[in-house]
């Protein structure tokens, strides 16, 4: 029940409002914000007003609220974002120039994949991810790479939770997903076929440091992998190796 904010600090209430947003809830009304943050409507109204004034939230013309640019700018100061994005940037642009397809740079954030950079391709392929978005790891190429290399506790957490289908092709059987992740470790890359969005396939490879620790993933989204999968894998691995050397 909303309104149970007694005893909570102002900080926890504000964080509750910001945490109300997620990949499946990018745009929220004031009532939805209050309910998801477990705040009374007057309290939510006051705090949201302050967040809008500071730039953490933006009020759209239809009265809904979205995450503001200032909050994203602050997030970019995190080392995982600034270091990896800056190092990977020239390799991402080279990869885009060689393929003209949509290119992603992503890292793992808990049991989700966080997109640090996206270069949109020239072809009409449906893309649901964007810079700053978080998606389930099990249904994306970059996510499967990161999940395959994640600690066993994270893999177990994802495999034991209900796997929500996003399309009729989404892998929702834990046993099958487990075998796919093992295959990623063997092959050195992951693929998806219309698992997040119909009409979009992806292939991705890991980015590792000199000691073998996987710190991110590079991926490409295309309409069909059947003809050019090996060429794309090769291009991705060259780019990932370049990022890895630059990180070292």
Q: At 226, which CATH number?
A: 3.30.450.40
Query: Domain check: are 177 and 237 in the same one?
Result: yes
Residue 5: inside a domain, yes or no?
A: no
Query: Domain check: are 95 and 173 in the same one?
Result: yes
Query: Domain check: are 62 and 102 in the same one?
Result: no
Query: Domain check: are 212 and 134 in the same one?
Result: yes
pLDDT in tens, 192-246: 999 999 999 999 999 998 888 999 999 999 988 888 889 999 999 999 999 999 8
For residue 85, give both structure tokens. 């994005």
Q: How many CA atoms lie within 13 A of 83 on its CB side?
A: 11
Residue 57 pLDDT greater than 80, yes or no: yes
Domain that holds residue 174: 76-247
Q: Return the pLDDT at 70.
A: 84
Query: Domain check: are 97 and 220 in the same one?
Result: yes
pLDDT in tens, 5-22: 556 899 999 999 999 988
Query: Domain check: are 117 and 135 in the same one?
Result: yes
Report residue 77's pLDDT band, with 50, 70 and 90 as the boundaries. Answer: low
pLDDT in tens, 87-106: 999 999 999 999 889 999 99
**Nearest C-alpha neighbor of 231 from the set 45, 82, 98, 50:** 98
The torsion region of residue 140 among left (phi > 0), alpha (psi -120 to 50) and beta comes to beta
Residues 6 or more apart whose Cβ sits within 8 Å of residue 127: 102, 118, 120, 197, 200, 221
Q: Check which CATH number belongs to the domain holding 30 and give it.
A: 1.10.10.10
Residue 1 pLDDT greater than 50, yes or no: no
Residue 145: inside a domain, yes or no?
A: yes
**Nearest C-alpha neighbor of 78 from the set 53, 107, 39:** 107
Residue 47: inside a domain, yes or no?
A: yes
Q: How many CA atoms lie within 13 A of 1 on its CB side?
A: 3
pLDDT, mean over the chain: 89
pLDDT in tens, 132-142: 788 999 999 99
Report residue 45's pLDDT band, with 50, 70 and 90 as the boundaries. Answer: very high
Mean pLDDT of 101-120: 90
- Asked which of 23, 54, 73 is the last residue of a domain, the reply is 73
């Amino acid at each position: 029940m909303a309104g149970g904010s007694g005893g909570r600090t102002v900080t926890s209430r504000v964080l509750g409002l910001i945490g109300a947003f997620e990949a499946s809830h990018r745009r929220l009304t004031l009532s939805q914000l209050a309910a998801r943050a477990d705040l009374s409507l007057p309290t939510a109204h006051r705090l949201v007003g302050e967040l809008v004034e500071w730039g953490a939230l933006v009020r759209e013309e239809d009265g809904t609220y979205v995450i503001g640019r200032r909050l994203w700018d602050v997030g970019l100061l995190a080392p995982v974002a600034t270091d990896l994005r800056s190092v990977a940037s020239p390799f991402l642009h080279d990869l885009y120039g060689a393929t003209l397809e949509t290119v992603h740079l992503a890292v793992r954030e808990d049991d989700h994949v966080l997109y640090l950079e996206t270069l949109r391709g020239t072809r009409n392929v449906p893309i649901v991810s964007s810079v700053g978005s978080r998606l389930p790891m099990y249904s994306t190429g970059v996510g499967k790479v990161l999940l395959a290399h994640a600690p066993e506790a994270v893999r177990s957490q994802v495999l034991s939770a209900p796997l929500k289908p996003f399309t009729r092709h989404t892998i929702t059987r834990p046993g099958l997903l487990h075998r796919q992740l093992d295959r990623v470790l063997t092959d050195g890359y992951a693929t998806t076929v219309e698992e997040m969005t119909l009409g979009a396939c992806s292939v991705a490879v890991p980015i590792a440091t000199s000691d073998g620790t996987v710190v991110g993933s590079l991926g490409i989204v295309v309409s069909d992998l059947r003809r050019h999968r090996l060429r794309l894998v090769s291009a991705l691995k060259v780019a990932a190796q370049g990022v890895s050397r630059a990180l070292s």
